[in-house]
Amino acid sequence: MENWEAAYLAGIIDGEGTITLTRHHSKEHRRPCISISSNDLELLIYIQSIAGGRINSKKNYHPTKHKNSYTLYILKKHEVFSLLKRISPYLKIEKKRKRAQWIVKYYDKVTVRNGKYTKIMLEKKKKFEEEFFLQ
């Protein structure tokens, strides 16, 4: 990814994106996620080509009134970390920049690879999540 592409993606994420911790199942721990919503599928396909992820479409119940909408989700750890490292210097929205830097700096320190947490590690993981959402 070129520097100009990283800056461009930072602008898109500043405007239309989200940097968060999410879970797909109620029993699992949260993991980093970058999402970008748009009704411009071509834009999301371009971003997907350089950043990865998957595109989901939303059911349009009123096609005469609304355009189709899509969301690009970047969930794979290596894709999320690679993108956050590249774009964080260019993010202008302070909250998003802090969240990106927080994930890159602390996520691996509080996440065990096999998912088996000791009591102390689980407390650190929960504290990380709580502090993340205060960003």
* Stretch among 12-16, 20-24, 102-106 having the lowest mean pLDDT: 20-24
Task: Give the residue-averaged pLDDT of 121-133.
Answer: 90
pLDDT over threshold 80, residue 83: yes
pLDDT at 100: 95
Task: Give the residue-averaged pLDDT of 16-21.
Answer: 94
pLDDT over threshold 70, residue 59: no
Per-range mean pLDDT, top range of 6-10, 118-122, 131-135: 6-10
Q: What is the Cα–Cα distance from 32 to 100, expressed in whole angstroms?
A: 9
Half-sphere exposure of 55 (CA within 13 A, CB side): 18
If you count DSSP H runs as helices and E runs as strands, how many of each does the chain have, helices first? Answer: 5, 4
| Residue 62's pLDDT band (cuts 50, 70, 90) | low
Mean pLDDT of the chain: 90
| Residue 114's pLDDT band (cuts 50, 70, 90) | confident
Identify the structural domains of the chain with CATH numbers, from first to last.
3-134 (3.10.28.10)
Q: What is the Cα–Cα distance from 22 to 20, expressed in whole angstroms?
A: 6
Question: Regarding predicted confidence, which is higher, 25 or 59?
Answer: 25
pLDDT over threshold 80, residue 16: yes
| Residue 61's pLDDT band (cuts 50, 70, 90) | low
